Amino acid sequence: MAESLQGLLVGFQVALAPSVLVYAILGCVIGTIVGVLPGLGPLAGISILLPISFGLPPTTAIVLLAGIYYGAMYGGSTTSILVRIPGEAASVVTCIDGYEMTRQGRAGPALAIAAIGSFVAGTVSVVALMLLAPPLARFALAFGPPEYLALLLMGLMVLSYISSGPMPKTLTMATLGLLLGMIGIDPMSGYNRFAGGVHELSDGLGVLPLAVGLFGVSEIMLAYRNQAMRPASRPRLAELMPSREDVRRSVGPIGRGTVIGFLIGIIPGSAHILSSFVSYAVEKRLSQHPEQFGKGAVEGVAGPESANNAAASGAFVPMLALGVPLGPVQAILIAVLMVHGVAPGPLLITQQPQLFWGFIASMYIGNLVLLVLNLPLVGLFVTFLRLPYSYLYPIILVCCIVGVYTVNSSMVDVLIMTAAGAAGYMLRRLQYDVAPVVLGFILSPMLEMAFRQSLAMSGGDYAIFLERPIAVTLLAIGAAVLLLGLVPPLWRRGLRRSQAAQ
Amino acid sequence: MRALMSGLLVLLCVAGVEAQAQDKFPSRPVTILLGYPPGGSTDTTARAIAPVLERILGQPVVIQNRPGAAALIGTQAVANAAPDGYTITVATTQLALLPAVDQIFGRPPSFTRDQFAPIALLSADPSVLFVHPSQPWRTFQELVDDARKRPGQIVYASGGLYGTTHLAIEIVLKATGTKMRHLPTAGGGPALTAVLGNHAALLAAHPAVGGPQARAGALRPLGTMGAKRVASLPDVPTLKELGYDAEYYQWNGLFTQAKVPEPIIAVWREAAAKAAKDPEFLQAMARVGSGTEYMDRDAFRPWWDADSKKTEDTVRAIGKVQ
């Protein structure tokens, strides 16, 4: 503990040096812009700016790129809330209740709660990262394919909470998502599935073009057709900040979202996208008025937005403590360290204390910068909504196309977005909810890979799922939750029967 | 009149520049187009040499990443670029690998190896075999003996089907006459994580990836696949020393299109020869832990042909998986 404080002191000396501080702030600003631009996520932002960072000293380079990363996680919620377009993949859930709040003229409180939740989650996670990185990293390594599969199966259960529509429609949409997720090269056999010879499709459809199309483009088309779909009242500037009631209802979700997000963020793979979905499901399950979810519940913004920021910090644990990249963003950051001659590995913290503690301190500063940057911006963003729709919607569409195109410089991605927009429009006209499509799409490749990897490890023996303690525990918890979920309907049916008998 | 005169002067100047430009290559910025994303080894090699080439050629050298479909999209773009010498690439085994994979799936190849002309080899690092420290094998021979005793039981991880980390182990298995189980993952990082977490017993990795883990005791190196030992791991024997013919390198070379005229290729060869000896390039490569290994076109071509043959043979031996 004393050692950590001493280290942190060194870290702040590093991070508060003007030359580093400037880049921390710059990273946060660029990250916010990247996050706000629909389609352009943290990975694309970092890849684009990577070459610039090669000319900087290693600590400064990492501080800049990490700033872009969590800045983008912060900014990703903005367009989700304002115009129902996810700024990055982890903000898809925020579209649901965040945009409903906007339609009720409460865009200000939604944005403010998202910023506050992100700040709290970011700061608490850095404390956890600082104090617990080495033991947590060893825990993360215990997650192999069987454990991952068990975790993802629990993720499937989240599906039922993500939509407020009838269950058959929700499951239909989830299945559609699972099927769409199978397009592309099968990593276990090398077959190119359902790609029709289009090379660009061999990496899959891409979650961002799909989500931006299903949520955002479809929304613009619906609102064009139907005036009643548009945000009901223009937001009043006086109601920018959340009410005391909003804050009271958000405290629990922010706390739980932080813990859930951080733990999921540590786990290898791309599970961090799921953190916001899991948080949403948990809040809906715990809420005393679950019927408000999907209709502008502030908990549905506070929880997921905290979770995805905590997950962003959690993902640094294995990178800093062990030198292993668990996600594509961390892989790039590790490459940056290597370009500067810093060998990333288990000895990083002891051999490069300045870098480690400077990085930690810059995350504290970054979170504060983002809060200071984002809260005043709430007013500006809300003002943006006051533009007449005939101007606003074309601008948004252009931003969507530019954002989605920039990620891979690929016209195919723009076409996917357009097709997803048309499909989303049809589905929503038919009263189907599109959120389960996105969740199914995210889960499907991960589920399949983890399942087949497990069987590759065991030589086809299914016992592998029961022989490993973490996997079997997770599966048991999942089974228990599933059975408990069945109890209330059965009990209610029994109650009705007994009432009918009387 | 004066305006006319100065206008004429300007025209003359422009024409002069134009004429000069046609004489000398390059007269405009050149592009290094990469099939891999930023941060990978082809990318860091390109970024190490680009500023040096810029200095030598006197023209800006722009790096463009076009990743996707296991480098197929970017590599195909290089193959199809105008053969004027203004688009070059830093490439590796993918030039032989991707057409070979297309072949076993019965697809028409997206490009062929003979569309490319080598300029120079820039770096080559032998693959190193690392195992989890809790595994019982202290030496490579112990691993081989155990694998012979229980064929198909030991699990190895790779960064992906038909990738360099997959082929390296398959070459070892062929040389030792053993069989193991393959756990493909989504890249070099996940493969490393799988072995660090002991979900797989071993992997073949670049010395700069596994080396720091080995120095911290998180991995145990058993053998290297080069002709001579790796400088950063001096105690680790080569498989050749142990009597196994299993050489495999992770290398990066400069290439352009086969149709580029010979005089322009000569400019590139000369520039690459100078750049490969430049201290700025050598330092940048040392920082990322890449072993520089320069070969001019004439020496590189037979080396590349031999490496490509090994790649194609191994891919064919693996064949379709299930």
User: What is the CATH classification number for the domain harbouring B178?
Assistant: 3.40.190.10
Residues B174 and B257 in one domain: no
Domain boundary residue, one of B224, B241, B263:
B224
What are phi and psi for residue B206, nearest 5 degrees?
-65, 140
* Enclosing domain of residue B283: 29-124+249-318
What's the CATH number where B41 sits?
Answer: 3.40.190.150
User: Which of B33, B94, B196, B285 has the most A C-beta neighbours within 10 Å, making it the best mutation to test the interface with A?
Assistant: B196
Tokens 């090379």: give the residue: A199
User: Is residue B95 in a domain?
Assistant: yes
β partners of residue B30: B61
pLDDT of B21 reads 47
Determine the Cα–Cα distance for residues B146 and A274; give it in Å rounded to an integer.
41
Residues B103 and B45 in one domain: yes
User: Which of A54, A186, A337 has the most B C-beta neighbours within 10 Å, making it the best mutation to test the interface with B?
Assistant: A54
As for how many domains chain B has, the answer is 2
Tokens 């989303």: give the residue: A424
Q: Is residue B64 within a helix (H) or strand (E), and if so which, with residue range? A: strand B61-65
Residues B75 and B88 in one domain: yes
Q: How far is A203 from chain B (nearest CA, A)?
A: 6
Nearest CA in chain A to B77: A199
C-beta of residue A294 within 8 angstroms of C-beta of residue A96: yes
Q: Are strands B30-34 and B87-91 parallel, antiparallel or unpaired?
A: parallel
User: Is residue B96 in a domain?
Assistant: yes
Buried b / exposed e over A2-17, threshold 16 CB at 10 Å, is: eeeeebbebbbebbee
Residues B147 and B118 in one domain: no
User: Is residue B289 in a domain?
Assistant: yes
Q: Is residue A40 within a helix (H) or strand (E), and if so which, with residue range? A: none
Q: What is the dihedral of CA A123, A126, A131, A137, to 10 degrees?
A: 140
Greatest alpha-carbon span in chain B: 96
Low-confidence ranges of chain A (pLDDT < 50): none
Q: Domain coordinates of chain A in residue numbers?
A: 2-158+231-404, 468-502
CA dihedral sign of residues B92, B95, B101, B104: negative
Half-sphere exposure (Cβ direction) of A494: Cα atoms closer than 13 Å = 6
Residues B84 and B45 in one domain: yes
Q: Provide Rg for chain A, Cα atoms.
A: 22
C-beta of residue A444 within 8 angstroms of C-beta of residue A184: no
pLDDT of B137 reads 97
Tokens 């709430």: give the residue: A378
User: Is residue B69 in a domain?
Assistant: yes
Q: CB neighbours (10 Å) of residue A406? A: 17
Of A242, A215, A288, A306, nearest in space to A101 by CA: A242
Nearest CB to A338: which of B218, B289, B321?
B289
Domain boundary residue, one of B190, B224, B258:
B224
Determine the Cα–Cα distance for residues B117 and B265; give it in Å rounded to an integer.
9
Tens digit of each residue's pLDDT, chain B (322 residues): 455 555 555 444 444 444 444 568 899 999 999 998 887 889 989 999 999 999 999 999 999 888 888 899 999 999 999 999 999 999 999 999 999 999 999 888 999 999 999 999 999 999 999 999 999 999 999 999 999 999 999 999 999 999 999 999 999 999 999 999 999 998 888 899 999 999 999 999 999 889 999 999 999 999 999 999 999 999 999 999 999 999 999 999 999 999 999 999 999 999 999 999 999 999 999 988 888 999 999 999 999 999 999 999 999 999 988 6
pLDDT of B20 reads 46
- A190–B321 CB contact, under 8 Å: yes
- A338–B208 CB contact, under 8 Å: yes
User: Is residue B265 in a domain?
Assistant: yes
User: Is residue B231 in a domain?
Assistant: no
Q: CB neighbours (10 Å) of residue B141? A: 16
pLDDT of B142 reads 97
Residues B203 and B266 in one domain: no
Half-sphere exposure (Cβ direction) of A236: Cα atoms closer than 13 Å = 3
- B212–A144 CB contact, under 8 Å: no
Residues B118 and B133 in one domain: no
CA dihedral sign of residues B181, B183, B189, B195: negative
CA A97 to chain centre: 15
Read off the pLDDT of residues A439-461 as tens digits, 9 standing for 90 and up: 999 999 999 999 999 999 999 99
User: Which of B72, B182, B193, B290 has the most A C-beta neighbours within 10 Å, making it the best mutation to test the interface with A?
Assistant: B193
Residue A463 DSSP one-character state: T
Q: Is the ipTM of this complex over 0.85?
A: yes
- Spatial neighbors of B155 by CB under 8 A, at least 6 apart, are A456, A457, B180, B181, B182, B183, B199, B200, B201
